[in-house]
Structure 1
């Protein structure tokens, strides 16, 4: 996969889809974080939420890698998690969309 070539148009579409998926995940997490924060009544609950948010940040940092050499795997993982759908992959071209969909099934 490291030798997979990306056209300028595909790179532009990939960056846009990448940003959409990240925004979706962050928006969802912010909503859940606010709910959890509103329920905090003890210092232990506060520190638990802090630890959870630090873990979430690490997960997001690991999941979202915009290097084109690994981007098909990133998109496959996002597709598996429901953060993007197959229709959105069409902008990446039929070949890449098919490859990502197949990788997501593994």
Structure 2
């Protein structure tokens, strides 16, 4: 296995990178806020739970009670319920995006 030798001019560049990333000034500027707000994570987890539980629950709830053992219709019902949950998630995400945009526009108006 061949190894690569570092040329002396490359050592200077590498040392600069190491010094700048570990300097105290760089750590003071860091932002430790979460990248995704907790509300968004909660909504994602809630819709994930709904996407798993509601279609499966609707299948087993309807296969013997409403459709009298016909698993094709019960499966179709489960597919419809899964699509309803998915459409609900898209609508909630779009409304959340619109509200963030409106808040940003309102802040821009107030700052003028």
| Coarse TM-score class (shorter-chain normalised) | 0.3 to 0.5
| Structure index of larger Rg | 2
Greater RCO, CA 8 A, separation 6+? 1
